Structure 1
Amino acid sequence: MRRLVSALRVPALLALALAATACGSETAATPQAGAKTLTVFAAASLTESFGTLGKQFEARNSGVTVKFSFEGSSALVQKLTQGAEADVFASADQANMDKATQGEVIDGQPSVFATNRLAIAVGKGNPKGIKGLADLAKDGLTVIVCAPQVPCGAAAKKVQQSSGVTLKPASEEQDVKSVLAKVRSGDADAGLVYVTDATSAAAKVDKVDFPESAGAINSYPIAVVKDAPQAALAKQFTDFVLSATGKQELVKVGFGTP
């Protein structure tokens, strides 16, 4: 009889163990209650600063994940007007924010949270001895700039027009990070980037400031996207970027204050 009872217990205990395992797996796979994802479309030049601000925002808001899409502002506007879903849009210039507003994809009035200006990125040690904007027009140099429709490209064009210096770029990139990457890799001798990008990449490139950049200061506006899935959270994030904490983080990498 004792052997029969023991034999009956084994399948029963095995069934209980399997049930407990299944319950444990189900619990582990269950998403956190109240979890939310905030999608932010932001200019490529905001990669480092917004990356830090995103982590700080997550720490202040339990269960919130900030998902970034960093690209050229013009590409982001195109995606928004074509129906891409996002909660916040941060542009590297007013012109592209105006396009987004005219395309009726922005909710409310955008707010300027930072300013930026151009600098020349060169290889470490400045092997070509570049001292200013005029040097970029010399023969024998491989110079990279942003495409005209991109904010850093529009600023480069404006600087050339006001200074009388005409550049012959080897390529025109779709965002400022692509310009910086070619300088870092040695594929370009120099590139016109934002001060903030050259500052963030100080371990890989050197920065050459030039006075003509003062004639093409870019303003960075931010706004909640129309019909944002997380509208209330989007407003909180824009307020956080505009706060003293947000400005402090932006200034660290060279952004100016509006």
Structure 2
Amino acid sequence: MKKLAIAVAAVALLAGACSANDEASTSPSSGGPAVPSPAGSSATGTLTVFAAASLTESFNELGKEFEAAHPGVTVKFDYEGSSALVQKLDNGAKADVFASADQANMDKAVQGGVIDGQPTVFATNKLAIAVAKGNPKGIKTFADLNKAGLTVVVCAQQVPCGSATKKVEDNTHVTLKPASEETDVKQVLAKVQSGDADAGLVYVTDATSAADKVDKVDFPESSGAINNYPIAVVKDAPQAALAKEFNDFVLGAQGKAELTKIGFGPAQ
């Protein structure tokens, strides 16, 4: 009996040693398979995005979602007219991503050698007329913007919303007489909101996002002046890896969902 007990104990010790060796072989220190790390980039720091002013609401939300998926990353946005942003890049301003409200300004950035790779269109947009709540001036058509006594504001022609306005004017043979030409679409919207203007030509998305402050008047001629929105990584981006991830994020399902919420159309 004594010999049997010793034998059983020896077997138990051997089994325990084998078990310990098996566990050790699966640990990272032993060269075995490691525990999977969380998905996503390990990069940290500030990602700087130059984006057209009309992207403010959508990109602010996408920035929050991107930060949540990338702990340690802060997304910093510079929203202005696309032409002003291209000028900044040409002058050496540092940014990681550029999103334009039209193809023409993105083409200028590419020609200026400040873009890395091929830009991709991620959304479309078109014009609408922003008016005071209740539309007290009774504006129903694009031609109505030439009614006597109306104060109308538009974007300057070098800005995408301004070039779209000029295209509608050319197509309809209606030449507007604006009280002012603003450097980006948000400034046009602000003048309507403040009462400094009776009407302003903005994007559908801007009027939709400010629906509690202005009413939106759609007009069919806007379909003849659709703006494509391209996005690209900036050349020599300080955060090149994160820039590529944000670019893909905007082009992906989450980006499309957020943009669609306020009326951006699909890429064409």
The TM-score with structure 1 as length reference comes to: 0.87
One of 63, 71, 81 as aligned partner of 1:54: 63
Instruction: Report the Cα distance in structure 1 between the residues aligned to 2:138 and 2:241, rounded to whole angstroms.
Output: 51
Counterpart check, 1:76 vs 2:85:
yes
> Is residue 43–residue 242 contact of structure 2 (8 Å, CA) maintained in 1?
no
Q: Which has the larger radius of gyration?
A: 2
Q: 1:106-121 maps to which residues of 2 (within 5 A)? A: 106-121=115-130
Instruction: Report the Cα distance in structure 1 between the residues aligned to 2:169 and 2:61, rounded to whole angstroms.
Output: 33
Partner-residue secondary structure (3-state), 1:172: strand
Structure 1 counterpart of 2:249, one-letter code? F
**How far 1:35 moved relative to its partner?**
3.4
Which residue is 1:215 aligned to?
224
Partner-residue secondary structure (3-state), 1:139: coil
Over the aligned positions, Cα root-mean-square deviation in angstroms equals 0.9
Instruction: Report the Cα distance in structure 1 between the residues aligned to 2:124 and 2:140, rounded to whole angstroms.
Output: 24
Which residue is 2:252 aligned to?
243
> Is residue 128–residue 218 contact of structure 2 (8 Å, CA) maintained in 1?
yes
In the TM superposition, what whole-angstrom CA distance separates every residue of 1:61-105 from its partner, at most 9, and x where no partner exists?
010000000000000000000000000000000000000000000
Identity of aligned residues (%): 79
Which residue is 1:12 aligned to?
none
Instruction: Report the Cα distance in structure 2 between the residues aligned to 1:209 and 1:163, rounded to whole angstroms.
Output: 15
**How far 1:34 moved relative to its partner?**
6.0
The TM-score with structure 2 as length reference comes to: 0.84
Counterpart check, 1:232 vs 2:241:
yes
Which residue is 2:192 aligned to?
183
**How far 1:242 moved relative to its partner?**
0.2
Instruction: Report the Cα distance in structure 2 between the residues aligned to 1:77 and 1:142, rounded to whole angstroms.
Output: 30
Counterpart check, 1:131 vs 2:140:
yes
> Is residue 209–residue 262 contact of structure 2 (8 Å, CA) maintained in 1?
yes
**How far 1:166 moved relative to its partner?**
1.1
Instruction: Report the Cα distance in structure 2 between the residues aligned to 1:201 and 1:244, rounded to whole angstroms.
Output: 25
Structure 1 counterpart of 2:73, one-letter code? V
> Is residue 99–residue 229 contact of structure 2 (8 Å, CA) maintained in 1?
yes
Structure 2 counterpart of 1:140, one-letter code? G
- Give ranges in structure 2 of 5+ residues lacking alignment: 1-41
Partner-residue secondary structure (3-state), 2:254: helix
One of 92, 97, 108 as aligned partner of 1:88: 97
- Give ranges in structure 1 of 5+ residues lacking alignment: 1-32
Which residue is 2:160 aligned to?
151
Structure 1 counterpart of 2:166, one-letter code? K
Partner-residue secondary structure (3-state), 1:246: helix
Partner-residue secondary structure (3-state), 2:75: strand
**How far 1:225 moved relative to its partner?**
0.1
Partner-residue secondary structure (3-state), 2:92: coil
**How far 1:165 moved relative to its partner?**
1.0
Which residue is 1:45 aligned to?
54
Partner-residue secondary structure (3-state), 2:94: coil
Which residue is 1:20 aligned to?
none
In the TM superposition, what whole-angstrom CA distance separates every residue of 1:111-132 from its partner, at most 9, and x where no partner exists?
0000000000000000100001
Instruction: Report the Cα distance in structure 2 between the residues aligned to 1:257 and 1:227, rounded to whole angstroms.
Output: 29
Structure 2 counterpart of 1:113, one-letter code? F
Q: How many residues align?
A: 226
